[in-house]
Chains A and B, each alone.
Chain A
Amino acid sequence: MTHRQKLVCSAAVLAMFSCVILFAGFFAPYDFAAQDRDAPFAPPTAIHFVDAAGAFHIRPFVYGPRDSGQTAAIGAADLRQSYPLHWFVLGAPCKIAGLNTSRLRLFGVEKPGRIFLMGSDAYGRDQFSRFLYGGQISLLAGLIAAILSVSIGILAGGIAGYYGGWLDGILMRGAELFLALPWLYLLFAVRAALPLHISQWQVFLLLISLMGLIGWARPARLIRGVVLSAKERNFVLAARGFGASDAYLLRRHVLPQTYAVLLTQITLLVPQYVLAEVTLTFLGLGVGEPMPSWGALLSSLQQYSVLSSYWWMFLPALLLIPLFVVFYAAADALQELHKSVPL
């Protein structure tokens, strides 16, 4: 596969994934906060085509829950009651991050039947729905932080590389200072200083943007390098000889050469910040309940009882691995492409 094909493939996969997450309200069968208090830690619901009597059904179905309220019976199916899977059903309307989503759902079963594709969590909430909704927050956070980092990086790196001299010295020493910063303690301090009254996810977006702001040093150093070599190129020198201004040179000749590096940086930084969100949640700095995020989904694995008893709690983590692989593949292809294109 050529680099271009690889790039197109991974970009297509990412676009598809993002689309599903963007329209979580349609793909998720339940609201992310809907608790089914009779089904904490229910295993993934089995979807059947063949019933107990051996008859085949074209429309898949699930069996009903057995005797609600009995902790021991969670996950046990009542074989007498079956609930066929319906496509395009109307569920409760639900809102996330201020965006209204419609009531239309891709699939669902009638109550009291339930369909938990990835099992349920401690409150009986559907893990699959929470995974999709959680992606909205986690990917958004990753994207915001990455764009922030890269924007500051391009500004600082561009100036430092182009003008050089004492400006370069100050900016790059500043970047090193930021690389050495114990950001974790900084985040704790910021969280402690914030009032209780701003909502949890505002706090979270604030923290993640803060991380983005702190993370500018690495892209800045990279961009500085690219700018440094670009400004010495013959065509740049020639343009300068013809009397082009600094602003023109930067806009027309120097910065365009950093685009590939920028894109690569963003594709590398997004998964990095998504993982940072996981760490934040582990430390109790993430979005608050009942908002889902990928970090929140994984943090329940900290408990020994969950870790040792409910295998389906690992599913979100397993799904994230291929996603990150695709991200890195995209970054890799971008980088290779950038190398092979003659400047």
Chain B
Amino acid sequence: MAKIRISRACLVAVAIFSAGSAAHALPKQAGEERMIVGGATGHAGGRLVVALRSEPKTLNPALALDEPSRDVIRCLTADLIHINRGSLKTEPSLAKSWSVSRDGRQYTLQLRRGVRFSDGQPFNAADVIFSFQVYLDEKVDSSQRDLLVVGGKPINVVKVDDYTVRFELAQPYAAAERLFDSVAILPRHLLDSDYRAGAFSQAWTLSIPPNQFAGLGPFRLKEYVAGQRLVLERNPYYWKSDRAGNQLPYLNEVTFLFVPSEDAQVIRFQSGDTDVLSRFSADNFAVLQKQQSQKGYHLDDLGAGLEYNFLFFNLNNPGANVPPEIAKKQVWFQDLRFRQAVSAAIDREGIVRLVYSGRATPIWDQVTPGNKLWLDENIAHPQRSLAHARELLKSAGFSWENDGALVDPHGEHVEFSILTSSSNAQRTKIATIVQDDLSQLGMTVQVVPLEFRAMVDRLLNTHNYEAAVMGLVSGDADPTSEMNVWLSSGETHLWHPRQENPATPWESEMDHLMQQQLVTLDYAKRKKLYDRVQDIVAEELPVICLVSPNILVGAANRVANFRPAILVPYALWNIEELYVQ
């Protein structure tokens, strides 16, 4: 689902290394089917310190919505089928293999045998059935539920035997394997009673005693100090090994510190207090780069990620409680030539240079160059042209007064405001550059930074806005994760959300294409369908795509096997393979 959104080192390293407590690996038991992973063989021990922007709100996988909670839960739990962040393809996880029926509607998963939860209890099909029962329960209201409803019906989960589970879908679903990614398997023996008592949403808060928490992830809960840190320790029952047969993870401990601002995180990383840094701006990248060689860390620029930033106008039906003074301006926004003129006038290269110090890519549709599987190479990349923009405006009946101000055919001055989120400095900067570009066309534009929730409320509920600069980050490279954005009935169909019937012919076509690609199993055919969606976005400009920032990460040199990826979580997705040198 696409989400809205945002040299002491050596000494420290030695101290940490010796401080790590020695939780020894358990010998492999008979019948245990461990998964072998292919990174460089490391050695056990040591500890990793990572900063989180805020305290996690919960440890309950069904309820976690915020980034910090998800980051922690990823280390504590495991899924059935996983998307490898490096290859962006699916790979076995708790399911060692799976088969698809010929009609594409039944998935039969073989579970790994001999796997145990972090408290030593065995894992089997009953836990899988239980987990999906919880996620699909409307009363639990989990964030995963939307994904697990295919063709309007919840996925039916059937236990075949203790180690075989069958998932039945109402219709063929192209990206079905990818659905399982990050759907954490819950321990039935710990949560069943809470669930039956209707108290599931109160289970697994942050203050839970560590012995009442168990997962299938590489780490388990050790200690939580409110306002300061959350400490995880090695799960001695973990079910992955390296190629030499050593049980993973290598690290003894992972400490999450709560560091509230990006700048503070950068400073802590720079001084060696934390080992890994992700989600920081290009400006801070430049600051860190200067001391890269002295301070014992290295930085990676992974190129374009999946985030796309764009400008869009309020295209809601004027009848649908849009205030009248905005409805008047919607006449301009509805005119394709007006949107084309705006797109032609914006200096995308300038945004890349000024906002991201060159660490970003200009874009003209929603698929970023980072998403190589789905990028449509044929989308045109027209150069910025104010002359072309003026021609378009002239053909749409606009004209200019003597002082250069643009007026519409009724003599009204073209004035509007652009909303941005005040917590996102980059987007406010983008809006300021757009403001300057459009002033060269004679438009008077105000930039209005608002608190994030106040902005989203205006965009999706009250429709009391004129234009906005926003960004979306897909959780997955696959187009199915973008259904809620491009379907005209979608919640996040930003420019005109939750339509009963598509308002325009091109939205109707887009609906059809998105539905079609969802049930088409052949990649080449799906690609063709989604290419057409990208064409429509580039031609009709419901959102004027501007720029995709690069994924920037940093890690201390002593952290080995560090392989950052462009998919969330950028840095710690292979935390079980990380070790300290």
Contacts and interface: CB of A to CB of B under 8 A. Distances in A.
Interface of A: 33, 35, 37-38, 40, 69, 71, 122-124, 192, 196-197, 199-200, 284, 288-290, 303-306, 308-309
Contacts of A199: 446
A37 B353 contact: yes
B560 interface: no
Interface in B253-299: 263, 266-267, 281, 283-284, 286-287
A122 B353 contact: no
Given A37-B354, A71-B358, A306-B283, A122 B436 contact: no
B350 interface: yes
A199 B267 CA distance: 37
Interface residues of B, number: 34
Chain B at the A interface: SS class: helix
Contacts of B341: none
Contacts, number: 69
A40 B358 CA distance: 12
Nearest to B465: A196
Interface string B193-217: 0000000000000000000000000
B417 interface: yes
A87 B235 CA distance: 74
A202 to B, nearest CB: 11
Contacts of B267: 304
Nearest to B325: A197
B353 A192 contact: no
B97 interface: no
Contacts of A309: 286-287
B433 interface: yes
Chain A at the B interface: SS class: loop
Contacts of A303: 263, 283, 425
B435 A290 contact: yes
A35 B449 contact: no
B292 to A, nearest CB: 14
Contacts of A290: 432, 435-436
Nearest to B350: A37
Contacts of B284: 304-305
B429 to A, nearest CB: 7
B436 A33 contact: yes
B350 A196 contact: no
B447 interface: yes
Given A192-B454, A197-B325, A284-B449, A124 B435 contact: no
B357 A71 contact: yes
B271 to A, nearest CB: 12
A343 to B, nearest CB: 52
Contacts of B476: none
6 contacts: A37-B350, A196-B464, A288-B449, A289-B432, A290-B435, A305-B281
B354 A40 contact: yes
B353 A40 contact: yes
Contacts of B325: 197
A305 to B, nearest CB: 4
A290 B425 CA distance: 15
Nearest to A70: B358
A16 to B, nearest CB: 33
